[in-house]
Structure 1
Amino acid sequence: MLQIPENTGRWYNPLRQMRSAQTDMSRMFDNLRLAAPPEFPLMNIWAGTDGAVVMAEIPGVVPEELDIAVHQNTVTLRGNRPAENLAEDAVVHRRERVTGAFARNIILQFRVDGDKARATFRNGVLRLDLPRPESDKPHKITVSRS
């Protein structure tokens, strides 16, 4: 029920009450995780006839501590992103960045030539170049007249 305050000396503004209620509700639900967090690291994957390229965002990870393995058509990326060192009296207001050990498996539609696969790291982004073996690449067949 809508109540109008008496003797306030101001015009009543119902939008002010609605904004206040919205702010209160936002604060109440601010710390709840209603959706599952995205997998870490976030990745983009492109594939073509010659192979695939994987781009993974892994800021805060030491590239030398990454474990990347290729077996047939599966690429596994493992690592660890350490948590920030906080003072004992620090109060966390929001924690959205994923920390700790992680592992991601990428299953491709073709085998990967593990001997020719390359990994490069720049500005917190890992790039995996995953070529197909020549024997797995599609070959064009020309039609001849008999």
Structure 2
Amino acid sequence: MKFGLTPWSPSTTSRWDPFDDMRQMQQRLNRLFGDSEQSKEMIDMDTLSPLIDIKEDDKNIIVTTDLPGVSKEDIDIDIKNDRVWIKANTHKESKEEKEGYLMRERTYSRFARAFNLPSMIKEDEASAKLENGVLTITMPKAEIEEKHRIMIE
């Protein structure tokens, strides 16, 4: 058994940051599931990566994600080559006046997520709606052309 200081020992000089561990785990999962092509903007430490649900039926692929406090004007959705990028910004400002002082607080959050789709879609027919902080993107699936078999002479 080895004795001494470990990274988790309370007597070390650096403090453990649970959010750093969560960011590292998210990056590992992104690499595992093919989301490693994210831009530098999406890898920023202040950017939240919302969880997504992808549902596929006979005609559509439906993506759902929670974007609390975000208005539809602040959401940017891009689809290219069966890859979806969702970016959103939110900012809130509160002002409170109490006896003798004024307090003003501002918060700013950024959400970003990119992922591959399980099937080819018709990009120009995709639609999205935002209700109660839940973004739903509906993308019709593209018809797969039948393969033509070439006979060898």
Instruction: Give the TM-score normalised by the residue count of structure 2.
Output: 0.53
1:120 aligns with 2:129: yes
Q: CA deviation at 1:106?
A: 1.8
* Aligned 8 A contact 1:50 1:137 in 2: no
Q: CA deviation at 1:89?
A: 7.3
Q: CA deviation at 1:68?
A: 0.4
Gaps of 5+ in 2: 1-15, 27-47, 97-101, 147-153
Q: CA deviation at 1:110?
A: 1.9
* Aligned 8 A contact 2:52 2:65 in 1: yes
Gaps of 5+ in 1: 1-30, 91-97, 139-146
1:66 aligns with 2:75: yes
Partner of 1:45: 54
How many corresponding residue pairs?
Answer: 101
Where 1:112 maps in the other structure, the secondary structure is coil
1:36 aligns with 2:45: no
* Aligned 8 A contact 1:80 1:100 in 2: yes
Where 1:64 maps in the other structure, the secondary structure is helix
Change (3 A) 1:137 1:118: farther
Determine what percentage of the aligned residue pairs are the same residue: 26
Which whole-Å CA distance do the structure 2 matches of 1:82 and 1:40 have between them? 17
Structure 1 runs of 4+ off > 4 angstroms? 83-90
2:88 is aligned, of 79, 96, 112, to 79
Change (3 A) 1:137 1:119: farther
Q: CA deviation at 1:84?
A: 5.7
Change (3 A) 1:72 1:105: same
Instruction: Give the TM-score normalised by the residue count of structure 1.
Output: 0.55
The structure with the largest alpha-carbon Rg is 1
